Structure 1
């Protein structure tokens, strides 16, 4: 049977991809970046501080860390709370010991509830990023645009009330709608951590101006590897350090790149996993080709 004439006709098909937010390019076609002091790898560590409720709506889907069993799922609720009260302070201590920086992505509803934690993060020189309103306020294509705009506006207002003006945005569950980039850029965020289309920052087009995307590798996320894929802490640490070694190896050909991963307080902040966290941080801190950087620093150097 022959195909209809219009089978291969697609009006949105373009060179390389169908997304018109940024220009598609291969790795060998981009202008090489050089991090400070000629370092080839920028280590970007993201630590999410999330608010989970006992009775999430689950619309359009449950956040990956949301409650699992029927209400009230106190087992998972208290483990998330443990991460924000205990585990995160272990991570802070480990970062300080290694002399590394991180980006703490904070749900807006936690700003008042966790003010001493926010102060401790700022005192150690880390970056605070906006992580949306909460884990049940998810951005997606079927969400009314006015509602999504309200999510973003409330988030910005909450940070302003807390005396903070973050430049970086990370969506809850890293989920966006078609207009999320436009809304967050209009609200004053000029850096987005949701996308991972490259291993270096790139410029995204929005109706409110350019938005710098700094990639965060979901494949190295502690929760994904340790919980979802059920790999060992040794395998997780090995993969992060293997990624670093390859990026160093690729430096002469592709220039400097970003090594990014997530440390989730209720996952990697547990006592029996801290040895792996310390191993990762010490190995990054001790490597002469690694630059410990925040998302803001990475975006600014890439744009210079």
Structure 2
């Protein structure tokens, strides 16, 4: 059965994207970018530090990492708490052993509850990014503008110097970017642009979106798809090598991935984590930096 032509009519349809946050430029028409260092690609590591309440709200949806069984789900609650008490320190040590700095995306509730952890992250020289209030505070269209502003304001008060933002569950409203720019955030990790920094327009200036790849997330690959830790590590190294190999045609590109404390901080995955980080360090043409540093590394088209 053929649909009536009226089903294909859309009064707002126009050439390009269906939003005005950035211009539409097909991948084969983009000017290749270069890194100021002369290296061929950049990568950034994000470590989410999250608070999961024992009885989380189900609306608008449950956070992907939230409790799985009926209240009180002590098994999953204590596993996530283990990540903030034990697993994260294994990640900190693995990063220190190879001399890498990461972006630690921190819930405001974590800063309240685990102040020694936050101090350890800061003393190690890692970037602190704002990661919303908690996993129970999802940004969604059911919030009023005032409610969302209050969520962001609470985070800004907790992290006054943070440049980078990542929403809980990486979920936004249509106004989140405008409010983030208004609050002084410069980098956002919620969208997944095509392996390069992307300046997004807001009512309060631009904010840079970086490609934090959900397809390389340890949560996605190790929990959702039940892959082995060595396979997860190998895929990230393959992604890094792909970006290096694509330099001649596509120029310098970048990508990010996550290290979740209650996942890769488990003792039976630490060796894979160490092998991954050593592998990244062993790629001399790859620059591994924090999210806040990424966009400043790229030369704009025409710059020398």
TM-score w.r.t. structure 1 length? 0.95
1:145/1:86 Cα in 2 relative to 1: closer, same or farther (>3 Å)? same
Answer whether contact 2:35 2:299 (CA < 8 A) is retained.
no
Instruction: Give the 5 Å matches for 1:87-126.
Output: 87-126=87-126
Q: CA RMSD in A?
A: 1.5
**Distance in 1 separating the partners of 2:110 and 2:124:** 19
Indicate the larger mover: 148-157 or 126-135.
148-157
CA distance in 2: counterparts of 1:282 and 1:23, whole angstroms: 38
2:73 alignment partner in structure 1: 73
User: Is the alpha carbon distance of 1:2 and 1:88 closer, same or farther for their aligned partners in structure 2, counting shifts above 3 Å?
Assistant: closer
Give, in whole Å, the separation in 2 of the partners of 1:250 and 1:14: 32
Equivalent in the alignment of 2:156: 156
| Structure 1 range deviating more: 23-32 or 249-258 | 23-32
Aligned to 2:246: 250
CA contact (8 A) 2:37 2:297 kept: no
In the alignment, what sits opposite 1:218?
Answer: 214
Q: Tell whether the 8 Å contact from 2:34 to 2:299 is kept in structure 1 after alignment.
A: no
TM-superposed deviation, 1:26: 2.3
SS in 1 for 2:125: coil
Q: Does 1:166 align with 2:168?
A: no
Question: Aligned pair count?
Answer: 300
User: Residues of 2 paired with 1:235 and 1:26: CA distance?
Assistant: 32
Classify 1:228/1:290 alpha carbon distance in 2 versus 1 (closer, same or farther; 3 Å): same
Structure 1: gaps spanning 5 or more residues: none
TM-score (norm 2): 0.95
Q: Corresponding residue for 2:185?
A: 189
Q: Structure 1 residue 236 and structure 2 residue 235: aligned?
A: no
Unaligned 5+ segments in structure 2 are: none
**Do 2:139 and 2:171's aligned partners in 1 also have CA atoms closer than 8 Å?**
yes
Residue 142 (structure 1) shift: 2.3
Distance 1:14 1:302, change over 3 A: farther
What is the 5 A alignment of 1:31-46? Answer: 31-46=31-46
Instruction: Quote how far apart the aligned CAs of 1:112 are.
Output: 2.8
Aligned to 1:209: 205
Shift of 1:4: 4.1
Whole-Å separation in 1 of the counterparts to 2:98 and 2:16 = 41
Corresponding position of 2:195 = 199
- 1:280 corresponds in structure 2 to 276
The whole-number CA distance in structure 1 between the counterparts of 2:2 and 2:62 is 43
Aligned residue for 1:61?
61
Question: SS state of the match for residue 272, structure 1?
Answer: coil
User: Shift in Å at residue 5 of structure 1?
Assistant: 4.7
